[in-house]
Every structure is written in C-alpha cells, then in structure tokens.
Structure 1
Amino acid sequence: MNLNDNPSLDDLKQLFARLKDKNHNHILWVCESGAVHVDRLPGGETPEQFEQRHPSLRIRFKTYNKGGGYVGKSAAADEHFIRSVHAALQEHWRLAGRQQQPAYVDRYY
C-alpha cells in the first residue's frame, strides 16, 4: 500500500487483516516513498530504537500492543478504526514533506 497511489479503505483492511494480534507488538509506519508498513516490534526493542533503525521512516503511529485488537482480522473489520487510521495516514502524509523530523501519531479519531 502506498499513500501516493490514493489507497482505499479496502487496501488498509487487507494490510491489517494479514497480521496476528496475539503474539507480537506492531508498529504502523510510513517510509519516505509513501509505502505503508505494519511491522512486528522485535522483543526488547523500543519504538524509538525501531525508528532509528529505519532512517527512511517519515511517520510512526503509536505501538499496537499484542492482544489489544489493533491488528488482525478483527481490527480490519472495525470500520471506525480503519476509517480513522486511513484519515490519519492521509493527513500526516500530506504534512510529512514539510517536517524535518518523523511525525509521531498517537491519537486519531
């Protein structure tokens, strides 16, 4: 999924649906090319360390803790959640080119 290609809600649902919620924490992030990723946060690594390991990171959302229902099929089926994440991705991507530092998104409605 790439934000430069005007992704749909279904694109985002597919990205979330392929993940498992019960085993790992995950981070939603966007690189400088506009590609959207949801990656497992390695055990013992902080979100800040993850950010440092990914120099192309432009936007990072709060960490989705395992078991919280923020990734997986149930998250993908939550229309309000998906719409909120989609809107936040679009808005922060629009602003990302003007920012020196990566954006951190911890709230979206």
Structure 2
Amino acid sequence: MRHCQPVLMTGEHRVQIDLNNPENLTLAAVRQLLASASDDEHTQLRVTRAGIAYISSGKAVGGVDIDGLLFRLETWAKGSGYVGNVAASDEVWVTQIFNALKQNWPKPPFDYIDIY
C-alpha cells in the first residue's frame, strides 16, 4: 500500500490537503496540517470549492475572505491549543478533525460548521 503525504506548498498556506483524492485524507495528513499552524494567532480550518483543506490565520478567519470556500469550521482562538504540535499529538482531536473533513467533503450541510 502506498503512503500518501499531504500536499506541501510554499507560501501563505504551507500545508494543504487535496481532498479530491481520498487517499490524501489520512490521520497523518491531518496531524501535519494541525502541526503546521501557530497557536499564537486565531486560526480556522477552511476547505475551498476546489477541495483544498488548509488552515488560515491572522485576519483571514471568521467571515473574512470566504469567497471560494465550500465550508469552514469555527474560528479557533489563539492560545486555545487547537493547532500546533500539542494539538497534533492529541489523537482524539486529530480524529475529530479528520472526521469533520471526511463527513463534510464534498457536500457539507452548511458552509459554516461548528458542530463536529
């Protein structure tokens, strides 16, 4: 069985998961996505209409810059422990985010998901 890694990108959103290929959505990919973000600022998991999952931060959270998004999760407040290495090592949290992505892609019931 081939091991798939998340798509690594340079630029604003360094780590992304391309949900168009079901093999890309793994617990390891979600763990890497969560670890890539800093808990020093507000963050939000977003999925574009093109199927790219990424974590936005800074001013691009909440209802800001949502054109092109299929859905987004609630904003995670800075310092809350939802992202970063500690969050990525929490298997229950990683599984919860994995399930949120799996259950909402490609047809989310809403464009804003706050129960997952």
Larger strand share, 1 or 2? 2
SS in 1 for 2:76: coil
Large movers: runs of 4+ above 4 Å: none
The 5 Å alignment of 1:28-67 reads 28-42=45-59, 47-48=62-63, 50=64, 53-67=65-79
Identity of aligned residues (%): 30
In structure 2, list runs of 5 or more residues that go unmatched. 1-16
Equivalents in 2 of 1:57, 1:72: separation in Å?
23
Q: Higher RCO, 1 or 2 (CA under 8 Å, sep at least 6)?
A: 1
CA RMSD of aligned residues (A): 1.7
Pair 1:93 & 2:101 matched = no
Q: Which of residues 1, 4, 9 in structure 1 aligns to 2:27?
A: 9
In structure 1, list runs of 5 or more residues that go unmatched. none
Larger helix share, 1 or 2? 1
Matching residue's letter, 2:18: N
